[in-house]
Chain A
Amino acid sequence: GENVEQHPSTLSVQEGDSAVIKCTYSDSASNYFPWYKQELGKRPQLIIDIRSNVGEKKDQRIAVTLNKTAKHFSLHITETQPEDSAVYFCAASYNDYKLSFGAGTTVTVRA
């Protein structure tokens, strides 16, 4: 199957600063890379995703980049706000529709 590694495991940033989370994957056939946000005690929710035929995608303060050659992808959050505090998970698809998730990054935005 697919193996996804995610770094860092925890990230503390000052409000207004940027946050970057990086993931690597092992299966070069993986072609879909979603990012999920999970607030404490809540369900994971998709915040952005990228497909293997695209190098970068942006949605307001959130952006994702993909480097297929190096098999890594990153989440960028700019102008962080307190409501960005959560656990973020990256994932990679394998065997078409099954997702393999990273271990998660706990982001804390300091006021």
Chain B
Amino acid sequence: NAGVTQTPKFRILKIGQSMTLQCTQDMNHNYMYWYRQDPGMGLKLIYYSVGAGITDKGEVPNGYNVSRSTTEDFPLRLELAAPSQTSVYFCASSYSGTGDEQYFGPGTRLTVT
């Protein structure tokens, strides 16, 4: 099992550009999550999904969109990049809800200039 994989590892965007952060898990997990981690801060939940076709907003969803067409994939879309979106983005997955370990991907470091 590769676990949770993310691409790209690093990316530099100009203000106003768009991009998609890819996340794939091969553990047949139902729940998937996107977090952002800013320096000196904990992780903030952006969006989450409890299964294919079902997504919902977390704490900081503004400026992002997600989709979940398959169990394995949960891409995060940035439409109009802003400097405030400079962060490290982590995707995570768990088999079910409360009490199940969330497994994290390696992260994507995004800089918007």
Contact = CB atoms under 8 A, between A and B. Distances in A.
Do chains A and B stick together as partners?
yes
Interface of A: 1, 4, 6, 9, 31-32, 34, 42-46, 49, 51, 89, 91, 93, 96-104
Interface stretch (B11-19, B40-48, B67-75, B79-87): B40-48
A55 to B, nearest CB: 16
User: What DSSP secondary structure best describes chain A's contact surface?
Assistant: strand
B101 interface: yes
A44 B104 contact: yes
Most buried by B among A6, A44, A93, A104: A44
Contact of B101 (A6, A43, A49, A96): A49
Interface SS of chain B: helix, strand, loop or mixed?
Answer: loop
Nearest to B58: A98
B61 interface: no
Contact of B40 (A31, A44, A104): A104
Contact of A104 (B42, B50, B99, B105): B42
A4 B99 CA distance: 17
A1 to B, nearest CB: 6
Contacts of B50: 97
B101 A99 contact: no
B97 interface: yes
Nearest to B42: A101
B98 A46 contact: no
B31 A97 contact: yes
A25 to B, nearest CB: 13
Contact of A98 (B48, B99, B101): B48
Contacts of A96: 97-98
Contacts of A51: 99
Interface in B92-113: 94, 96-102, 104-107
